[in-house]
Amino acid sequence: MARCGTPSKQLLQSLRSWSISPAANSRHEIARPFCTTTCKSEEAQADVAPKPSFRRNPDPQLVSSRRLERRLMKANNPPIGSRRRRVALQGTSGIPFEQLPYQCFQEARKILIADREEKLKQIETDRARIIRLRDSDPALSGGEARKRQRLKDLIGKLEHLKILADINDPLVKRRFEDGLGDMNKPIYRYLAERKWREARRLILMQRITQMKVIPDVLPSFEPSVDVKLAFVPPITFSKRGLEYGDLSKGIRSGDFVYIQPGEFVDSQMSENPCWLNVQSFQRGEKLVSVVVVDSDVPNLQKDGFDYRCHFLAVNVPINPTQRTINLSNLSKTEQLLLPWLPPHAQKGSPYHRLSVFVLQQKDNIPLDLSVASRHVKSEGFILRSFVDRHLLKPIGVHLFRTKWDAGMADVMRRAGVEGADMELRRLKVEPLPYKRRNPPSFR
């Protein structure tokens, strides 16, 4: 057995040098004299800038509170995607969507990719068939009419295959939910139209039918484009600075207030021309006419109601990507027939229905303003006659209402409309003789 020797002088000096500093003793930490690097607790902490509060600076991709969503909408920075998706992203890491580590998800993606490749081969085949049919002799296809019909059918089938190639792609659906879809592609136009027909179109048809816009203004109507209407709220100066007008109605988004179909609009807000967002779901550009009609103008002579045109413009281009129409910036020499007349209602009269119609011009042929203006006048404007005369097709509609309010008199005075100092009252109808009350007979 080895004999234990006496410790060396250097070892004894090292053992005596071990000490516990007062600061380390308070933290129950022992100094490490043999270590050449500093311990983690003694490292100098870098100055890290405090992270901004999420409530003060909410992230559009992660916000899930309704209050914070409204704040983002007012700042013209709307939330991205659905609320359920944003809540899910709060507890997940930054893994790309297509690289999620789920075996079932990845296997399903392989099946979808193989199906898409098959659809792309069919698309190339149909494109070659269309080219051959266009270059062929009409006599071989059964005549010119038969050739045009076959081309139309093949083009329709080709567009349908483009939709089927991407309809099941999760990345396409995600981009559409985030509002990043390219409306030049058929798949995004198809998804947008399906979403519109499932909700907004049903509400629109209910409002224009319930409020008798159909058949009062037009006998029948089937909208095919999504029309959104927005006003710029009035700004007033007070001791507290800039203040917006009445925003109790509509949905605020940035500098605009979007009006839901059939809502009441403050007279000061509707004094200036509105903005239209016309979303077309078909490829190509269209020329449309925009008409704003008031169908509840009191007529005291006949004890009824007449029509009044508050705005009329023609030759307005729209397409799936350029859908905003500012009624105040249209050309006066090529587009504008009747300038904007502020909607107004006399005191005592019922509410006025103002219908905004989008009419597609036949074969996208521009209308001649000098010819169209001959039969156009604001008072007594009949939309049915205008549509029949110029062979127009109604494709979109919106509706809002107005009534007498605190600012209506000033709006009528600035617009040069008479009748602000007159109050309408209903005539008292005398009861029939056998329905009259006879107080002496009650005794």
Phi, psi of 220 (to 5 degrees): -155, 160
Euclidean distance between CA atoms 208 and 373, whole angstroms: 28
Is residue 61 in a domain?
Answer: no
Same domain, 122 and 209: no
DSSP string, 26-76: HTT----TT-SS--GGGSPPP-PPPPPPTTTS--TTT---HHHHHHHHHTT
Q: Of the ranges 91-95, 352-356, 418-422, which one carries the lowest mean pLDDT score? A: 91-95
Same domain, 177 and 204: no
Give the CATH number of the domain where residue 243 resides: 3.90.280.10
Which are the contacts of 281, defined by CB distance < 8 A and separation ≥ 6? 189, 190, 192, 193, 196, 224, 225, 226, 320
Euclidean distance between CA atoms 221 and 224, whole angstroms: 10
pLDDT in tens, 177-225: 888 889 999 999 999 999 999 999 999 999 999 999 999 999 988 999 9
Q: Of the ranges 18-27, 75-84, 178-187, 351-360, which one carries the lowest mean pLDDT score? A: 18-27
Q: Of the ranges 9-23, 228-242, 411-425, which one carries the lowest mean pLDDT score? A: 9-23
Same domain, 255 and 362: yes
Same domain, 154 and 211: no
Same domain, 140 and 258: no
Whether 337 and 312 have beta carbons less than 8 Å apart is answered as yes
Residue 20: band (very low, low, confident or very high) from pLDDT cuts 50, 70, 90: very low
Which one has a higher pLDDT value, 41 or 116? 116
Distance of CA 332 to CAs 310, 312, 408, Å?
Answer: 16, 11, 27
pLDDT value at 40 more than 60: no
Mean pLDDT, rounded, for 285-307: 93
pLDDT value at 44 more than 70: no
Mean pLDDT, rounded, for 53-64: 79
Euclidean distance between CA atoms 349 and 296, whole angstroms: 9
Residue 141: band (very low, low, confident or very high) from pLDDT cuts 50, 70, 90: confident
Whether 31 and 21 have beta carbons less than 8 Å apart is answered as yes
Residue 237: band (very low, low, confident or very high) from pLDDT cuts 50, 70, 90: very low
Same domain, 155 and 239: no
Asked which of 152, 181, 210 is the last residue of a domain, the reply is 181
Is residue 193 in a domain?
Answer: no
Is residue 212 in a domain?
Answer: yes
Mean pLDDT, rounded, for 146-151: 90
Mean pLDDT, rounded, for 305-330: 93
Expressed as residue numbers, the domain containing 107 is 97-181
Same domain, 268 and 349: yes
Q: What percent of the chain has pLDDT over 90?
A: 51
According to DSSP, the residues that pair with 251 across neighbouring strands are: 258
Which one has a higher pLDDT value, 306 or 138? 306
Same domain, 251 and 369: yes
Is residue 216 in a domain?
Answer: yes
Residue 9: band (very low, low, confident or very high) from pLDDT cuts 50, 70, 90: low
The pLDDT assigned to 248 comes to: 44
pLDDT in tens, 329-382: 999 989 999 999 999 999 999 999 999 999 999 999 999 998 988 889 999 999
pLDDT value at 430 more than 90: no
In this prediction the pTM is: 0.76
Q: Comparing C-alpha atoms, which of 280, 279, 281 is closest to residue 159? A: 281
Is residue 265 in a domain?
Answer: yes
Same domain, 337 and 260: yes
Same domain, 145 and 288: no
Residue 81: band (very low, low, confident or very high) from pLDDT cuts 50, 70, 90: confident
The pLDDT assigned to 67 comes to: 87
Is residue 127 in a domain?
Answer: yes
Which one has a higher pLDDT value, 103 or 328? 328
Phi, psi of 410 (to 5 degrees): -65, -35
Is residue 378 in a domain?
Answer: yes
Which one has a higher pLDDT value, 17 or 108? 108
Q: At what angle do helices 186-198 and 144-166 cross, to 10 degrees?
A: 80
Same domain, 221 and 175: no
Q: How high does pLDDT run on average in the chain?
A: 83
The pLDDT assigned to 29 comes to: 45
The pLDDT assigned to 35 comes to: 52
pLDDT value at 271 more than 80: yes
> How many C-beta atoms lie closer than 10 Å to residue 193's C-beta?
18
pLDDT value at 22 more than 60: no
The pLDDT assigned to 285 comes to: 93
Is residue 15 in a domain?
Answer: no
pLDDT value at 30 more than 50: no
The pLDDT assigned to 38 comes to: 53
DSSP state of 79: P
In the chain, how many domains are there?
A: 2
The pLDDT assigned to 123 comes to: 94
Euclidean distance between CA atoms 90 and 102, whole angstroms: 19
Q: Of the ranges 11-25, 248-262, 335-349, which one carries the lowest mean pLDDT score? A: 11-25
The residue behind tokens 């100066």 is 237
Same domain, 127 and 162: yes
Query: Taking the CA of residue 305 as centre, how many other CA atoms within 13 Å lie in the half-sphere pointing to its CB?
Result: 15
